[in-house]
Chains A and B, each alone.
Chain A
Amino acid sequence: MYRRLLINIYQVRNGLIHTQNTRLPSTKCKERESFAPVIWAPCTARPLGTSSISFSENKENSTSLSEDKEKRPEENEAKEEVNTDGQKSTEISNATLTLQLETEPVDKPEDSKQVEKTKSGKESLLELLGAMKVEVTTVRKIRPSKTPRMSERPDQEPMESTHSMFQHATAKGSQQQGTLNPALVAAVSAAASTLPNRHQAESELLKQLRKHEAVPDTQRRADGQNIGHIIADMKVGGRKTNGRSSARPTSQIRFDDDGKGYTQDRGITGELDAVRRRKSPFTSKRLNIFTAGMEQDTLSVLGPTLWDIDLANQIVQATNQAPRNGFEEMIQWTKEGKLWQYPINNEAGLEEEASVPFHEHVFLEKHLDESFPRQGPVRHFMELVITGLAKNHHLTVQQKKEHIDWFRDYFRQKDDVLKEAEA
């Protein structure tokens, strides 16, 4: 959809191109030239979005074109304000972006209508494009400074460098023709010092850089002249421009007027990205011996064999098992069983009794069976005993039973004494 909208916009703009500053379209095509559709989308979407907003508003208002004309300058001013705000906080400019995005789906059916309208209202479009220009330049100025240097994706980096390239193109273009940026020279000598014969390497690198400096300069001029052709090419689609970007040898050191691009290219991220872009050997073809969902014939598993134990032992021997702090030592002791485990709930240490319900502990009358007298002092005593046992949380049920059994034996032995006392 972006592409289609873009083409529309370019069709429109093509007619107006002579009134425009030539630099703006040239940036546009530069951007398109180097990058994949995903990335150019945000930039191209913005001017589009601006127009689409105004058009959607047109629709809402359902006013005549003349009214629109009156309204639009105001709107564009508002946009400008937003964009200058954007210099301070990129969030706002982003917000407008999202806003535009949300309106875009609404636009889609209007595409054709839009073109017609724009053609009829050339004047308003002129204003609109003026607003766009402001936006483009301001955003550009913020971006390179705000952008974190590290980049995750390969595509961003060239993007950034082209931004900065054009940002500085007019400012610095002329003054740097003869000399190289001192920072760049410093970087070159630093790089050269890592190589075996530094002087030769340094001079070679510098020579290379000068050559590249010359190239973008001439290219830029050529771009300026051929801008009409390039825009004409744009209508055809991205195919040709892609060819152009690949015409630039990747092995060459990319030169930027602001000298930033070079340093960004150094370091491992660039190389890594290059690697990532290439196919990773880890995703290479497989041997195709096994089938993925293979079911294993279940063998009788007899628990760990001597070999398994030895393997585990070897692993433990090979790795570093020394504790690094007191807690790790305690973990080790816990695993060995030397340390009472750190309580993680209220049942810590209750393994033995975990399966015993509480009533087994509390209701012990059932153990006072017929071996005890039904009534009398012995019975009374034993009731006191089980009350005490019921409240004792230190003994297990088994121990409580043993306790009662001990009394049972005791009273049985003392049977004659009890009888004598007529208890």
Chain B
Amino acid sequence: MASSCSQALRHHVCKSSRILRVHLQKAWPNRSFVLNSAADQQPAVSSPVEEIVIPKKKTWSKEAVLQALASTVNRDPTASDYRFQDDPYLTPKTSSEFKLFSLSQESGRNAAKYFISTYPKYFQKDYAQPHIPCLMPETLEAQIEEVSEAALIERIQMRKVKAAVDLYDQLQQAGTPVSLDVTNQLLDLICFYGDCDPAQENVPEQRNEETEDVQDEPQTKKGRASKASDKLKAAWKENNNAERIFALLSEPNTHSYSALIRGMVKYGAYSKAFSTYTDLLNNQLKADVSTFNALITAAPEVKEKYNEKWELIVDLLKQMAEQKVKPNLLTLNAVLKALRRCGTVGKSQAFPVISEMRALSIDPSLASYNHLLSIFYKPGAPFQGQTDILQEVMNEVSGKSFTPQDPDDAQFFITAVRICLDTKDIEQAYRVHELLGVGENWRLLGNDFQQNIYHARFFSLLCMMENIDVVLKWYRDLVPSVYYPSSNVMRDLLQVLDTDNRLDLIPQIWKDLKQLGHGNRQTLVEELLTLMAREKQNQEVQETFAECALDIKKMYDTGDRGKVMMSWTAGSLSDLVSVLLAAQRRQDAWEILKLFKTHNRVPSEELLDKFLTCIKESGDVNQALELVQISAGFCLPGTPKLIQRVQQEFLLSEQQKSMLSDLEIQTFNSD
């Protein structure tokens, strides 16, 4: 009885433990068995039942259904970007086409908007029912003509700096009081645009595209370049309208100071910003968080030494605490960004800063991690003992979905993958790439240009570290749906093919190369030819090589419209000949051999020797003689040897014999 009882008990336990394990395995699929049994014990003692709370009502956003539907669509590695799917003719095949098409779409939109806004009288008919405000022309001209506060507000809203300042002066002269709020808004406007009228709404977008072009240089240069252009564009002028209007205020409040300080920092008047801040303190006022953020950004500019910079930042943070100003994420990012310029102090203080902000329940965004990585990994500096910082960061961010909160968020992926490339850390690179797939993180990869940099770095690293199968898997996944590799990256790929001895894939790669617009990159094509010519492959592969080689020849002959023509070199021609010879295409090879003469190139002796061997196999005496003649024509030192070989190896008629001896004498004389 007892044994049956224990059997029943065992059965029961068996069942419950199975259920438990199913749950546990869901939670940690990668656990090993040993942990499994250990983990089973704890719930067996006290099994916590998670309570499921069913909400009474769930309010859906208006995009909820669409979001659910969108999440069902995966990326198709064989299709181009969604933007180009409307018109198959406009499917980009090269990176330049990609850029051109995407920009043209954007500029088309801008042009339409420009016309609608410039000639609103032609676009008054409102077809849409219900009304769609964003499709209607914007009013670009001020509607209120009279001198009043309402008119000032209107001008501020339309961001007309000059007009607003003029109106404010008129109001002052007329003795009409302007409320502090409106004045502050005016100050915001002036400071934001640095006392200049902003460019027209559609013009800045064009300029953005120009700057994108400028960004083609490496990332590190970009920051400085844009900063420099900002300074060139507008600097904070002494006694400009903002300062003048500020001076007119009888009782400036925090907002007024904030506007002034932020404007000064934005336009490079850093020390002035600090004196204004002192002024604010003297007036018994408190600064707001954005003022502090601006001042922290300016801190590295006003001090020389690393520790002085850091002391200033700490001082500012302490004042924040004193004035009971709660820092925000931008504060954290500003501090970290400032620490990037504090050298070794940055390395020691970065983590305490993050812990401090964590304690205030401010979670770092990707921009914070980006600054952190930049602090520890300076481009061009050696990387001993720092690899684990990237690991730490990846441990922190892995599997999290981030929302854009800071303009610098978009730099994270590029920085992370750069570090992976520099430290040759493929594992971390995979983690970075995995992170990119989580939630909406792909948005944080940034614009097309940044995406290209990211993928180029990632793929170069793959080429460096992985074997050919893995590389090709990624290659098929990324190219050309999201990434159009540059010729350098394609050369890396060729090197991988070479090291892993998969040269048989070269014809495929050549097709891709042609499609990607690298068919006329001389160095690349020559490398391709060298690789094909270097070793003897099996017959089938040689056939495809020969086809590919002839295709390459066509590329040399015609050249793409409007593209750089490639010129034959002796090396490329002889490679081509040897590829064709290896595939037993003597006739084609003969044609190429003639090209040596037309392009004034000299074939090597080995090549002619090889050719002669090939001719001998078919026993074509005439061609052999012609070959000798060609060789003699180039005055090659190896000609006598060739003549000798022909004399020995071929059955010659009398006439041919005499011809050969004539040639022999000629070459002898010329020597």
A344 vs B64: C-alpha distance when bound (angstroms): 8
A290-B320, A322-B83 known; A283-B32 Cβ under 8 A: no
CB pair B82 A326 closer than 8 Å: yes
Check B2 against A91 for contact (C-beta < 8 Å).
no
The answer, yes or no, to whether A240 is at the interface (CB within 8 Å) is no
Interface residues of B in 519-551 (CB under 8 A from A): none
Q: Does A419 belong to the interface (CB within 8 Å)?
A: no
Which residues of B lie under 8 Å from residue A41 when comparing CB positions? 38, 41
Residues of chain A from 151 to 165 with CB closer than 8 A to chain B in the complex: 151-153, 156-157, 159-160, 163
Residues of A within 8 A of B (CB): 38-39, 41-42, 45, 53, 57, 60-61, 74-75, 78, 90-92, 94-99, 101-102, 105, 143, 146-148, 150-153, 156-157, 159-160, 163, 267-268, 271-272, 275-276, 280-292, 294-297, 299, 302, 305-307, 310-311, 314-331, 334-338, 341-345, 349
Question: Which of A99, A283, A326 gathers the greatest number of chain B CB atoms within 10 Å?
Answer: A99
Main secondary structure of the interface of B (DSSP, over half): helix
Instruction: Tell whether, in the assembled complex, residue A284 and residue B355 are in contact, meaning their CB atoms are under 8 Å apart.
Output: yes
CA distance A295 to B324 in the complex (A): 7
Please measure, in the bound complex, the distance between the C-alpha atom of A325 and the C-alpha atom of B14, giving whole angstroms: 49
Chain A residue with the shortest CB-CB distance to B16: A98
Whether A307 lies near B262 (C-beta < 8 A) is yes
A275 to B451, CA, bound (A): 31
Contacting residues of chain B (38-69) with chain A, CB-CB under 8 angstroms: 38, 40-41, 44-45, 60, 62-67, 69
B470 within 8 A of A: no
Question: Is A344 touching B65 in the complex (CB atoms < 8 A)?
Answer: yes
B592 at the interface (CB under 8 A from A): no
Tell me whether B391 is interfacial, beta carbon within 8 Å. Answer: yes
User: CB of B562 within 8 A of chain A?
Assistant: no
Within the assembled complex, what's the spacing in Å between the Cα atoms of A337 and B132? 6
In whole angstroms, what is the CA distance A148 to B25 when docked?
Answer: 12
Quick check: A90 and B18 within 8 Å, CB to CB? no
B445 — which chain A residues lie within 8 A by C-beta?
320
Q: How far is the CA of A272 from the CA of B286 in the complex (A)?
A: 46
Select from chain B the residue with minimum beta-carbon distance to A327: B70
B356 within 8 A of A: yes
Does B314 make an interface contact (CB < 8 A)?
yes
Contact B392 A282 (CB under 8 A): yes
Q: Taking the complex as formed, is B443 at the interface, i.e. its CB lies under 8 A from any CB of chain A?
A: yes
**Can you offer 16 A-B residue contacts whose CB atoms are under 8 A?**
A39-B34, A75-B3, A94-B17, A151-B35, A285-B355, A286-B355, A288-B356, A289-B320, A296-B325, A306-B185, A318-B407, A330-B66, A337-B133, A338-B134, A341-B62, A341-B63
Binds A, one of B227-235, B346-354, B644-652, B657-665: B346-354
Known A152-B28, A288-B356, A319-B410; contact A39-B38, beta-carbon cutoff 8 A: yes
Q: Which residue of B lies closest to A329 (CB)?
A: B82
| Distance to closest chain A CB from B306 (angstroms) | 17
CA distance A61 to B5 in the complex (A): 12
**In the bound complex, CA of A286 to CA of B208 (Å):** 40
With a cutoff of 8 Å between Cβ atoms, the chain A residues found around residue B21 in the complex are 91, 94
Residue from A92, A97, A98, A315 in contact with B405 in the complex, judged by beta carbons closer than 8 Å:
A315
> Which residue of chain A is the closest to B405 with respect to CB atoms?
A315
Contact check, B2 vs A297: say whether CB atoms are below 8 A apart: no
B188 within 8 A of A: yes
The answer on a CB contact under 8 Å between A61 and B2 is yes
> Is B324 within 8 A of A287, CB to CB?
no
Whether the pair B359, A307 counts as a contact (CB closer than 8 A) is: no
Q: Chain B residues near A57 (CB, 8 Å)? A: 2, 6
Q: Are A97 and B73 in contact (CB under 8 A)?
A: no
How far, in Å, is A221 (CB) from chain B's closest CB? 27
Most buried by A among B82, B134, B318: B82
Taking a contact as CB atoms under 8 Å apart, the answer to whether A147 and B34 are in contact is: yes
State whether the Cβ of B254 lies closer than 8 Å to any Cβ in chain A. yes
B35: chain A residues at CB < 8 Å are: 39, 151-153, 156
> Shortest Cβ distance from A239 into chain B, in angstroms?
22
Interfacial chain B residues near A338, Cβ < 8 Å: 132, 134-135
Which residues on the A side are within 8 Å of B38 (C-beta)? 38-39, 41-42
Closest 3 CB pairs of A and B: A95-B14, A327-B70, A286-B355
- Contact bitstring B110-145, A, C-beta under 8 A = 1, else 0: 000000000000000000001011110000000000
Contacts of B200 in A (CB 8 A): none
The 0/1 profile, CB within 8 Å of A marked 1, for residues 250-279 of chain B is: 000011000000100000000000000000
Given A147-B34, A307-B188, A290 contacting B321 (CB threshold 8 A): yes
Residue of A94, A295, A317 ringed by the most chain B CB atoms within 10 A: A94
CB-CB under 8 A for A148 and B442, given A284-B352, A289-B318, A338-B134: no
How many Å from the CB of B101 to the closest CB on chain A?
A: 12
Give the CA-CA distance A289 to B37 in the complex, in Å. Answer: 46
Bound complex: CA A78 to CA B352 (Å): 60
If A94-B17, A306-B188, A338-B135 touch, does A272 touch B324 (CB 8 Å cutoff)? no
Least distance between B95 CB and chain A CB atoms (Å): 16
The answer to whether B31 touches A284, judged by C-beta atoms less than 8 angstroms apart, is no
Does A275 contact B388, Cβ atoms closer than 8 Å? yes
Known: A143-B33, A290-B327. A315 touches B13 (CB 8 A): no
B327 lies within 8 A of A344 (CB): no
Contacts of B70 in A (CB 8 A): 324-325, 327-328, 331
Contact A160 B317 (CB under 8 A): no
A355 to B311 Cα, complex, angstroms: 58
B399-423 Cβ-contact flags toward A at 8 Å (1 or 0): 0000011111110000000000000
> With a CB–CB cut-off of 8 A, which chain A residues contact B14?
91-92, 95, 98-99
Which residues on A sit within 8 Å (CB–CB) of B185?
A: 305-306
Inter-chain contact A42/B314, CB cutoff 8 Å: no
Please tell me which one of the listed residues B37, B82, B288, B404 contacts residue A319 in the complex, with CB atoms under 8 A apart: B404
Inter-chain contact A60/B2, CB cutoff 8 Å: yes
With contacts A99-B9, A290-B360, A315-B409 known, is A146 near B62, CB below 8 A?
Answer: no
Complex Cα distance A168/B64, Å? 58
Are B32 and A160 neighbours in the complex by a CB distance under 8 Å?
Answer: yes
Q: Assess the B324–A296 pair: CB atoms within 8 A.
A: yes
Instruction: Decide if B301 is an interface residue (CB 8 Å cutoff).
Output: no
**Which residue of B has the minimal Cβ distance to A342?**
B65
Q: Which of A74, A159, A302, A336 contacts B181 (CB 8 A)?
A: A302
**In the complex, are the beta carbons of B66 and A147 less than 8 A apart?**
no
Chain A residues whose CB sits within 8 angstroms of the CB of B65 once the complex forms: 342-344
Cβ A337 vs Cβ B407 within 8 A: no
Q: Are B134 and A271 neighbours in the complex by a CB distance under 8 Å?
A: no
**Looking at the complex, which one of B81, B324, B349, B428 makes contact with A297 (CB distance below 8 Å)?**
B324
Instruction: Give the residues in chain B near A290, CB-CB below 8 Å.
Output: 317, 320-321, 326-327, 356, 359-360
Q: Give the residues in chain A near B75, CB-CB below 8 Å.
A: 324
The verdict on B30 contacting chain A, using a C-beta distance below 8 Å, is yes
CB interface residues, B 167-212, toward A, < 8 Å: 181, 185, 188-189, 192, 208
A296 nearest in chain B by CB position: B326
The answer to whether B320 touches A150, judged by C-beta atoms less than 8 angstroms apart, is no
- With both chains docked as a complex, state the minimum distance between the C-beta of B144 and any C-beta of chain A, in angstroms: 20
Other than the given A315-B409, A342-B66, A343-B65, 14 more pairs (CB < 8 A) read A45-B41, A94-B36, A95-B17, A99-B10, A99-B13, A105-B45, A153-B31, A284-B352, A290-B360, A291-B321, A292-B360, A318-B404, A344-B62, A344-B64
A311 touches B407 (CB 8 A): yes
Chain A residues positioned under 8 Å from B135 (CB to CB):
338
Check: B447 CB closer than 8 A to any chain A CB.
Answer: yes
**B588 proximal to A (CB < 8 A):** no
Q: A91-B14, A95-B18, A307-B188 are in contact. Are A289 and B66 (CB under 8 A)?
A: no
Q: Which of B132, B133, B181 has the most A CB atoms < 10 Å from its CB?
A: B132
Segment 74-115 of B: residues with Cβ below 8 Å from A: 75, 81-83, 102
Report the bound CA distance from A156 to B33 in whole Å: 9
Given contacts A60-B2, A275-B392, A341-B62, contact A148 B324 (CB under 8 A): no
Q: Which residues of B contact A306 (CB under 8 A)?
A: 159, 185, 188-189, 192
Q: Are B18 and A147 in contact (CB under 8 A)?
A: no
CA–CA, A101 to B208, complex, Å?
68
- A294 touching B33, Cβ below 8 Å: no
